[in-house]
Amino acid sequence: MMNLWHRRLLLLVLVTISEGKLNVLLIVADDLRPSLGCYGYEPLITPNIDLLASQSVVFNRTYAQQAICGPSRASFLTSRRPNTTHVYDQHTYWRKKGGNFTTLPQHFKNNGYVTFSVGKIFHPGAASGKTDDYPYSWSFPPYHPSTQKYKMAKVCPGPDGKLYMNIVCPVDVTAMPEKTLPDLQSTQHALQIMQNVSRFSGQPFFLAVGYHKPHIPLKYPKEYLNLYPLDKVHLAPDPSLPPKLPLVAWNPWADLRERDDVKMLHVSFPYGPLPKHYQLLVRQSYYAATSYMDDQVGQLLKGLEKYNLSSNTVIVFMGDHGWSLGEHQEWSKYSNFEVATRVPLIVYVPGLTNKGQNLHRKFIFDRNFINKDNYRVTNALVELVDVFPTISELSGIKVPELCPDNDSDIELCTEGTSFLPLIKDTVFNNGASDLKWKSAAFSQYPRPSDLPQENSDQPKLKDIKIMGYTMRTDKYRYTEWVGFDPLTLKTNWTDLHARELYVHDIDPDEDNNVAGLWDYIDVVADLSDKLLKGWRKALPNSYNSDKLNHR
């Protein structure tokens, strides 16, 4: 039960929301798994994100709908799943293939907000109409840091004094082209926007800042290596190829193989493991790149405080999908495993999630607020398609209605669920209540063939022959790899290529596929039925009515 103080606080927050005065700062990190201090991943040093978490709600089990940049971003920015956007690769624009769907920033723009894009929000290029969806989504042309064009350039110093195009790439920033790095540029541009909008208090804003790190190349200021001595870095707990893994599920990490330092290792395709010493170097640099990105987040938080914006700005920090760091002998994303689909999600709502920490409903950039014992954490299953309706509800603008079964002609609707009830429940009950939420989270990944080949990681739409649909429940991860027709965009559920079943209670790293064991025959039958019924049947009970599903 809420006490009187809680009731008054909630009323104040709801009044603020109803007046539509809350700004939005959306921060998206590229290829970031939940390897953060606030998620209990002790090797990582992320004090700024941890500080944000200390005044927010931390979502412990959040899942991307496809573990690759273009499809994932098209999905969560439209609140439609890949089978609706029809974006399965980096070369398809949802407005041409799926429908003229209203995006998250477009919805805010249509409701009187000025909207800004800094860095990587939509996947640039064909996946966003070669304009980052401007002018639909943004009030001004999106900003891209000029130094991002060196992503594939030979700028990484090698031991022989020459420059290479490497994965592992600690650098002296002053020696880089333009003497800076992409994320440094994005931070400075975002801070300039904050300064400008602070002068117009009556104009709400939606500011999306997309950081490129820790996406490869792992290029970052070399001083961040000092945070992670190599003798303190360990291999993944399960660095070997699982014996029962269906070959169609294998991610041969072709993007790493393009890099000069990996080429020099002469790793055999597709299963040859990286040498152990290089596995450690990649993990070390992923950690360093994450801490570098964390410092950029810290600059944004300081900016909110400096320009007096934190008392009326919702902050959402998230990843677009995860990344494998040697688990299952894999690297990159491009799979349906937990390490590829699970992402961090942290939501700050002024006056609600920071209750009891300050009375002015303002984010305080003071690390004395960090107390890991007091993190407000929910273990409910949520999905990135839920972000759109949630931010809308928090900001007091129209919450998109649930999409009907055939929604290709509907510009504004959602295939997700606002998780504002979870935020309120977690705040007022410190995560101890029994609020029932989604029974499953859904993701998918395409393949061109049953056996790994050069384009298995990133098949173009025309080459997709198999779709792997995966479902994460409280206890299980269940996956079916089934036939897919790229011309009709139809799935043939009777054309079964492989199954995977992992029991998280006893196998949290998903190393032992038990789908073929007799002991689990009934579990497989039950989960297969639920997977086929899909995400609608997994919604929270209050959302799972015939009226809601078909309106």
What are the residue numbers of the active site?
69, 123
**If residue 85 lies in a helix (H) or strand (E), which one and from where to where?**
helix 82-85
Q: Peptide bond preceding 135: is omega within 30 degrees of 0, i.e. cis?
A: yes
Q: In one letter, which amino acid is 65?
A: Q
Give the Cα separation of 398 and 414 in Å (integer).
Answer: 12
Percent helix, strand and coil across the chain, each rounded to 5? 35, 20, 45
Helix (H, G, I), strand (E, B) or coil at 90: coil
Give the Cα separation of 121 and 211 in Å (integer).
Answer: 8
**If residue 53 lies in a helix (H) or strand (E), which one and from where to where?**
helix 47-54
Give the Cα separation of 214 and 191 in Å (integer).
Answer: 21
- CA-to-CA separations, 203 to 104, 116, 190, 300, 310, in angstroms, rounded: 18, 13, 17, 19, 15
Q: Are strands 342-348 and 57-63 parallel, antiparallel or unpaired?
A: antiparallel
Please say whether the dihedral angle defined by the alpha carbons of residues 433, 435, 437 and 439, taken in this order, is positive or negative.
positive
Q: Say if CB 477 and CB 523 are below 8 A apart.
A: no
Give the Cα separation of 449 and 446 in Å (integer).
Answer: 9
Q: Say if CB 222 and CB 174 are below 8 A apart.
A: no
Beta bridge partners of 314: 24
For 381, phi then psi, to 5°, come to -80, 120
Rounded to an integer, what is the distance from CA 462 to the centroid of its chain? 26
Give the Cα separation of 269 and 84 in Å (integer).
Answer: 34
Give the Cα separation of 387 and 104 in Å (integer).
Answer: 9
